[in-house]
A = this chain, B = another copy of it.
Amino acid sequence: MGTVKAGITTSVDGYVAGPDDGPGRGLGEGGERLHHWVFGGPWTYDSMPEGNTRADDDGWMARGMADLGAVVAGRATYEASGHWDDTNPWGVPFFIVTHRPQEQPEGDAFRFVSGVVDAVEAAKEAAGDKDVHVMGGADVIRQALAAGLVDELSIILAPVVLGGGKRLFEGFDQDLELEHLGVTQTRLATFVDYRVVRS
């Protein structure tokens, strides 16, 4: 079996999005700075980001892509991205957690599944010996952690304090032991990788 890896970018104060995020508003007020590392520097919501990941920032993602077998995301993430222009951006089976699986578009670019547990199970089956990446949003990662489905958790810390928004761990009340798998830092982000210890 592969490894189930959850990874998401947060501010230093723990937000995965600034205030007022959502469809057409991306990562919310000031939240675009969370993803400077993704696009090689500043970008805005007014136009599609044109930059590419810088070579040093790309290391974390490249390591994750090497053994990637399937991806899980929440419906809100899917909507906020504009359905990735209706094209699966990962090149591997991509499962979307939703309360309305009947709304899956034609084809299998996106596979709508009801519930995080079922989505991760389906992703593991599709991935075979390869890894599953749980990309978020925060609620999907919280549910996957709470259900004991996550083997490795990566927190990508952007060097900003947002002062408000959506907290990654909002309402999460479980106690989890972690072990370090390593850390790397570029100009635009600090990538901290943990193994989740099974009790």
Contacts and interface: CB of A to CB of B under 8 A. Distances in A.
Interface residues of A, number: 34
A15 to B, nearest CB: 9
Contacts of A14: 13-14, 167, 169
Instruction: Report the copy number of this chain in the oligomer.
Output: 2
Contact of A187 (B145, B163, B164, B180): B180
Contact of A183 (B13, B176, B179, B190): B190
Given A180-B185, A185-B180, A175 B190 contact: no
Nearest to A14: B14
Contact of A175 (B161, B174, B192): B161
Contacts of A183: 183, 185, 190
Contact of A161 (B12, B30, B178): B178
Interface in A121-160: 145, 153, 155, 157, 159-160
A18 to B, nearest CB: 8
Contacts of A153: 12
A197 to B, nearest CB: 9
A182 interface: yes
